[in-house]
């Protein structure tokens, strides 16, 4: 993980087991004969979950129909965002990446930038490699 500290408002949204961001999810709660939906926070990395007392949800919708729409998500701090999901089973296309030579574990950040066409942006998070690539059109 990065040595950058999370903002104070994110600290209660980090997994206590693996320190990954825990997004909001929905769970069904049995109340007598009926079932009601309930908000929970869950970790995509280890599966830990906890009830969410607050109900505030923020959603960002970007209406961009350009082939360069993914650039909205890229800046110098993108790799430091603890809310972005990581995957360790995807190989970096850079032949010189330390994860390809076996000296480091693969760590790729992925961002869905076009939900209609299921297009993803991938960023290699291995030290010494800053490769970025997109899913095929």
List Cβ neighbours of 6 (8 Å cut-off, separation of 6 or more): 14, 82
Average pLDDT over the chain, rounded to whole? 79
CB 27 within 8 A of CB 41: no
Model pLDDT for residues 70-124, shown as the tens digit of each residue: 666 777 888 888 888 999 999 999 999 999 988 899 999 998 887 778 888 899 9
CA-derived radius of gyration, the chain: 18
Check: CATH 2.20.25 for 69-134? yes
Phi, psi of 19 (to 5 degrees): 65, 25
32-36, 46-50, 65-69, 126-130: which has the minimum mean pLDDT? 65-69
Domain map (residue ranges) of the chain: 8-51, 69-134
pLDDT value of position 95: 92
Is the entire prediction scored with pTM above 0.75?
Answer: no
Give whole-number Cα distances, 88 to 46, 56, 85, 125, 132, in Å.
13, 31, 10, 10, 15
- Beta-carbon count within 10 A of 126 CB: 19
pLDDT value of position 56: 55
CB 108 within 8 A of CB 135: no
């Amino acid at each position: 993980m990065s040595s950058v500290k999370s903002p104070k408002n994110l600290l209660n949204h980090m997994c206590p087991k693996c320190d990954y961001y825990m997004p909001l999810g929905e769970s069904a709660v049995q109340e007598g004969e009926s079932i009601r939906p309930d908000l929970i926070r869950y970790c995509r990395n280890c599966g830990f979950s906890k009830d969410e007392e607050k109900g505030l949800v923020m959603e960002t919708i970007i209406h961009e129909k350009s082939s360069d729409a993914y650039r909205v998500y890229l800046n110098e701090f993108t790799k430091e965002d603890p809310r972005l999901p990581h995957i360790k089973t995807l190989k970096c296309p850079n032949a010189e990446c330390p994860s390809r030579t076996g000296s480091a574990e693969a760590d790729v950040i992925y961002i869905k930038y076009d939900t209609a066409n299921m297009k993803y942006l991938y960023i290699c998070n291995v030290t010494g490699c800053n490769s970025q690539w997109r899913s095929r059109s």
